[in-house]
């Protein structure tokens, strides 16, 4: 069975940093693009970033460009999201989701709260 398990969320002050992780299993992780999607409280989901199979190409939504970095470790079937210069509007549950254009599988999400 496919499993996506996110971790690393928490409470952080504005301007702070967090690194999210996603442990993937049940599929050939190194063969697929991967993605992060977030959902702010009371809002619909929002795509955050995509990364190519070998990590050489990544795409970001404009609101996080220059602040967030998506990366992966295919040897460990893991996906990461480094979040810097966090803002209140980044407060959301962050999901790892697969496959990229179809999102058949979502993790349980890890909550991030940016507040002083």
Partner 1 sequence: DVVMTQSPLSLPVTLGQSASISCSSSQSLVYSDGDIYVSWFHQRPGQSPRRLIYKVSNRASGVPDRFSGSGSGTDFTLKISRVEAEDVGVYYCMQATHWPFTFGPGTKVEI
Instruction: Output 31 or 75, the one with its CB closest to partner 1.
Output: 31
Nearest CA among 14, 12, 33 for reference residue 102: 33
In the structure encoding, which two tokens stand for residue 89, read together? 């509007």
Q: CB 91 → partner 1: shortest distance, Å?
A: 17
Q: CB 106 → partner 1: shortest distance, Å?
A: 4
Under rule CB under 8 A, residue 98 binds partner 1: no
Instruction: Output 31 or 62, the one with its CB closest to partner 1.
Output: 62
In the structure encoding, which two tokens stand for residue 91, read together? 């407060």
Q: CB 13 → partner 1: shortest distance, Å?
A: 26
Alpha-carbon distance of 116 to 15, in angstroms, equals 10
DSSP β-ladder status, 110-114 and 10-12: parallel
Instruction: Output 1 or 54, the one with its CB closest to partner 1.
Output: 1
Alpha-carbon distance of 73 to 43, in angstroms, equals 31
Task: Count other Cβ atoms within 10 Å, centred on residue 1.
Answer: 6
Q: Binding residue for partner 1 (CB under 8 A) from 107, 110, 112, 114?
A: 107
Residues 32-51 that bind partner 1 (CB under 8 A): 44-47, 50
């Amino acid at each position: 069975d496919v499993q996506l398990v996110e971790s690393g969320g928490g409470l952080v002050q504005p301007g702070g940093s967090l690194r999210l992780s996603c442990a993937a299993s049940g599929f050939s992780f190194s063969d697929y693009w991967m993605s992060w999607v977030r959902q702010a409280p009371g809002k619909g989901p929002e795509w955050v970033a995509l990364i190519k199979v070998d990590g050489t190409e990544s795409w970001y939504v404009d609101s996080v460009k220059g602040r967030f970095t998506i990366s992966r470790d295919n040897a460990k079937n893991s996906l990461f999201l480094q979040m810097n210069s966090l803002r209140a509007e980044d407060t959301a549950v962050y999901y790892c989701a697969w496959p990229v254009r179809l999102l058949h599988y979502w993790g349980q999400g890890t909550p991030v709260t940016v507040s002083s």
